[in-house]
Structure 1
Amino acid sequence: MQPFRILIIDDHSQAREGIRDILEEYEDFLIVGEGKNGEEAIHLTEELMPDIILMDIQMPVMDGLEATKRIKLQFPYVKIVMITVSDDITDLFDALKKGAQGYLVKNLQSELWYEYLQAFALDEVPMSKEIAFQILKDFVKNKSEPAEKTPLSAREFEVLKLVASALSNKEISEKLFISEHTVKSHLKNILSKLHLDNRVQLTKYAYQQGLMD
């Protein structure tokens, strides 16, 4: 398997160096470039076509949230993980609404960084209950249309609800007595049928359609 191509965007050189030191130890990640603000992030994404961008939130010229929104509009398949010193759920939820699919706090142990990014790269990162709760608060209040008829099978519907309940692929497989590979297949089919891209959007969909208790 080819290594995942990583682009690091942070206005502090020491932070970029620290991230580089963590990831260079592992053969499944390849750092293809670095930048120090949102404008550089957009330019480097066009030039280097990374698989994953590690994006700081607070930066001069253009912050990470605005850059994330613009990059996801142009390159929706590029995965973006926000990196920050803050563990404020408001920052996290704002980043997710802009299109980011993940969130890392800089003071996490390096082993946890690797484990998270590896799972993230393989689409195995579960959504935390805190994120699900914030999505519930933000989107349910906007629900005015009656729920549409779901195109999902009964099993896919089960998987959707468990994803929206913040379970990981492994936890879903154990709960439904199926393999993780089967869970991933169901998840892929669900995303395709609903024309969605990731777990965040699935959770938003589940709450908007009134599928969650």
Structure 2
Amino acid sequence: MKRFRVLIVDDHAHAREAMSEILSMDDSFEVIGVVASGAEAIAFTEQWMPDLILIDIQMPEMDGLETTRRIKQGYPYVKIVIVTVSDEISYLFEALKQGAQGYLLKNLAPSTWIQYLHSIMHEEVPLSRELAVQILKEFAVPSVIEEREALTAREKEILDCVSSGSTNREIGVILGISEHTVKNHLKNILQKLQLQNRTQLTRYALEQGLASRSLQFPKEKL
């Protein structure tokens, strides 16, 4: 029976001991190293080439994500699972971006740990369908912050006006630009936000909180 050689990386001694104890419950796993820092993990990997590395996400000097990135650069075939106490989806997403194969919570039952690690080592998909959908959405759709930052200062002003109900002519008067220029800006905004029309743009701006509503309509009838 093949035994998977495991390196444990955590700056807390009790956590290292707990993970070692869990892995000792299954003969498929052999802990060949226990270290307390990212630098030690990199050096150990270079010398001993473990099959699997369990890395705590929060460590001083070099955290688990940076450690994962560096190890994956030199040894892409080593499997890495990030270990943490947080179930925040952003951590999982960042771990996968850095090359980790998985993400384990420290408070899960030992049997869950063993089952999960077996799925990792046998190239199975260890993510739930719901979690996979969330990850795909993160990859496929730019975040609201990224979309907002992709707009120029002028485009943001126009977005504010549109969400407040201004016509192209009114926006031109408010901003001191021609109606034709307003239309060109709107085309760019729709393209950047991957929207089809003004109605979608208005709804999107309001739902995502992108409209500051700080601009005022002209009081005179246009």
TM-score band, normalised by the shorter chain?
0.5 to 0.7
How far apart are the structure 2 equivalents of 1:100 and 1:131?
A: 15
**Corresponding residue for 1:66?**
66
Q: Which amino acid aligns with 1:72?
A: K
Q: Is the 8 A contact 1:93 1:131 kept in 2?
A: no
How far does the alpha carbon of each residue in 1:131-165 deviate from its partner, in whole angstroms, 9 at most, with x for none? 433333333246xxxxxxxxxxxxxxxxxxxxxxx
**Corresponding residue for 2:88?**
88
Q: Is the 8 A contact 2:119 2:126 kept in 1?
A: no
The structure having more radius of gyration, on CA atoms, is 2
Question: Helix, strand or coil for the counterpart of 2:55?
Answer: strand
**Corresponding residue for 1:133?**
133
Stretches of structure 2 that go unaligned for 5 or more consecutive residues are: 143-222
1:128 positional shift: 2.6
Q: Which moved more, 1:121-130 or 1:50-59?
A: 121-130
Q: Does 1:97 align with 2:97?
A: yes
Q: Is the 8 A contact 1:54 1:81 kept in 2?
A: yes
Aligned residues: 142
How far apart are the structure 1 equivalents of 2:80 and 2:93?
A: 14
1:35 positional shift: 1.0
Question: Helix, strand or coil for the counterpart of 2:60?
Answer: coil
Question: Helix, strand or coil for the counterpart of 2:47?
Answer: helix
How far apart are the structure 1 equivalents of 2:25 and 2:127?
A: 27
Q: Is the 8 A contact 2:11 2:59 kept in 1?
A: yes
Identical columns (%): 56
Q: Kindly report the root-mean-square deviation, in angstroms, between the aligned alpha carbons of the 2 structures.
A: 1.4
**Corresponding residue for 1:24?**
24
**Corresponding residue for 1:202?**
none
1:39 positional shift: 1.1
Stretches of structure 1 that go unaligned for 5 or more consecutive residues are: 143-213
How far apart are the structure 2 equivalents of 1:139 and 1:2?
A: 35
**Corresponding residue for 1:123?**
123
How far apart are the structure 2 equivalents of 1:73 and 1:131?
A: 26
**Corresponding residue for 2:107?**
107
Task: Write out the 4+ residue segments of structure 1 that deviate beyond 4 Å after TM superposition.
Answer: none
**Corresponding residue for 1:193?**
none
TM-score normalised by the chain length of structure 1: 0.63
Greater relative contact order: 1 or 2 (C-alpha under 8 angstroms, separation 6 or more)? 1
**Corresponding residue for 1:8?**
8
Q: Which amino acid aligns with 1:119?
A: S
**Corresponding residue for 2:40?**
40
How far apart are the structure 2 equivalents of 1:109 and 1:138?
A: 28
Q: Is the 8 A contact 2:116 2:126 kept in 1?
A: no
TM-score normalised by the chain length of structure 2: 0.61
Q: Is the 8 A contact 1:116 1:125 kept in 2?
A: no
